[in-house]
Amino acid sequence: MTKGGDEKQGEDTASKAATLFPPMNDVIGYKLRRAQLAVFQDFLASFAKLKVRPAEFSVLVLIAQQPGLKQTEIADQLGIKRANFVALMDSIEKRGLAERRKSDSDKRSHSLHLTPRGAAFCRKMFAVWRDHEDRMIARLGGDEERARLITMLDRLAEPGG
Amino acid sequence: MTKGGDEKQGEDTASKAATLFPPMNDVIGYKLRRAQLAVFQDFLASFAKLKVRPAEFSVLVLIAQQPGLKQTEIADQLGIKRANFVALMDSIEKRGLAERRKSDSDKRSHSLHLTPRGAAFCRKMFAVWRDHEDRMIARLGGDEERARLITMLDRLAEPGG
């Protein structure tokens, strides 16, 4: 079967398109996503027993560090959509790790606090997280590299910051 | 209202939990995710008119660069689950940008090729992508910083590589 003119022309155009882009391995967004997935994969494997996902981890850490913050404040700090945050907080509350309390200053809003059980859970989380984080730092080649990476990630995330 | 013993003890435990973790801004996985979301946000805004999402972009670029690859090969290279890849490819085929052809070597598998329309679309994509990528490089502070970032992301994504 010989190639028709149209098909041949299509292939020429396609081969021109091929030379435009660099290898995907040089594309910033692509590499960021692959690295993020790899780190989350290690995180999820590490936390399989405690059943903690990255978003739950960050919410619990923030409640531990800043008890009394409102739901909207935590959602905003972490860049989680408010609708998603409510479901996340429902699950954390159902597990007895943190609770919503009526805010003293604004009766319509809730402030968030760890329960004693949540505080004990955070200590377990810390040991698991520390191992995971140390593994990631080792992959990078040490603390200096880690600091350099964080600086660059900040530049990407907060272009005006 | 005075605090009961249990509640007081709970707060002491909670305040101990608070001191365990570093600020979330120092946590590698968290920062990676925030940076990735920020870069994808710029990507999606840039490609709103062409209606291209990051996964579609990477699939089209790979088909352009390596015409004739099998579906499973592209899915594996990009780290996309095969089930998700089929839906992605259905959408790309429906838009007339690429097509599945029966493979010569293995009649059961399909090889992927850009259509002439897909090749023209890739040229439009390139202009939009180049602007986006240049903005990200500018955020980082230049090409040298970009190369340094890619190296570090590789270390995270391919710990044995």
Helices (H), chain B: 5-20, 28-46, 54-65, 71-78, 82-94, 116-140, 143-157
Arithmetic mean of pLDDT over chain B = 90
Shortest distance between the Cα of B147 and any Cα of chain A, in A, equals: 8
In chain A, the residue whose alpha carbon lies closest to the alpha carbon of B113 is: A14
Distance from CA of B119 to the nearest CA of A (A): 5
Asked if residue A150 belongs to a domain, the reply is yes
CA atoms within 13 A on the CB side of B55: 15
Report the gap between the CA of B62 and the closest CA in chain A (Å). 8
**Which residues lie across from B113 on neighbouring strands?**
B99
Q: Considering the domain boundaries, does residue A133 fall inside one? A: yes
* A50 within some domain: yes
Domain assignment of residue B2, yes or no: no
Picking from A61, A102, A121 by the largest number of B CB atoms within 10 A of its own CB, the best residue to mutate is A61
- Tally of domains within chain A: 1
Q: Is the separation of the CB atoms in A74 and A63 below 8 Å?
A: yes
- Tell me whether residue A12 is in a domain: no
Contacts of B9 in chain A (CB under 8 A): 116
**Residue A98 contacts residue A118 (beta carbons within 8 Å):** yes
Interface pTM (ipTM) of the complex? 0.89
* pLDDT tens per residue across all 161 residues of chain A: 444 455 555 556 666 777 889 999 999 999 999 999 999 999 999 999 999 999 999 999 999 999 999 999 999 999 999 889 999 999 999 999 999 998 777 777 789 999 999 999 999 999 999 999 999 999 999 999 999 999 999 999 987 75
Q: In this structure, are strands A98-102 and B98-102 parallel, antiparallel, or unpaired?
A: unpaired
Token pair in block for residue B32: 């990676």
Is the Cβ pair B28, A150 closer than 8 Å?
yes
Nearest Cα residue in chain A from B80 = A34
Can you list the positions of beta strands (E) in chain A? Answer: 98-102, 110-114
CATH number of the domain bearing residue A113: 1.10.10.10
Instruction: Give the domain extent around A68.
Output: 31-157
Q: Is residue B53 a part of any domain in this protein?
A: yes
**B133-143 residues labelled b (16+ CB within 10 A) or e (exposed):** beebbebbeee
d(CA A102, CA A122): 23
What phi and psi values does residue B101 have, to the nearest 5 degrees? -120, 145
Is the pLDDT reported for residue B91 higher than 90? Answer: yes
d(C-alpha A59, C-alpha A52), whole Å: 11
Q: Answer yes or no: is B9 within a domain.
A: no
Q: Which of B47, B60, B152 to mutate to test the interface with A (most CBs of A within 10 A)?
A: B152
| Residue A113 within any structural domain of the chain | yes
Tokens of A37: 């997935």
Contact A16 B158 (CB under 8 A): no
Give the three-state DSSP class for A70: strand
Q: Which residues of B touch A120 (CB under 8 A)?
A: 13, 17
pLDDT, tens digit, 9 for 90 and up, residues B65-76: 999 999 999 999
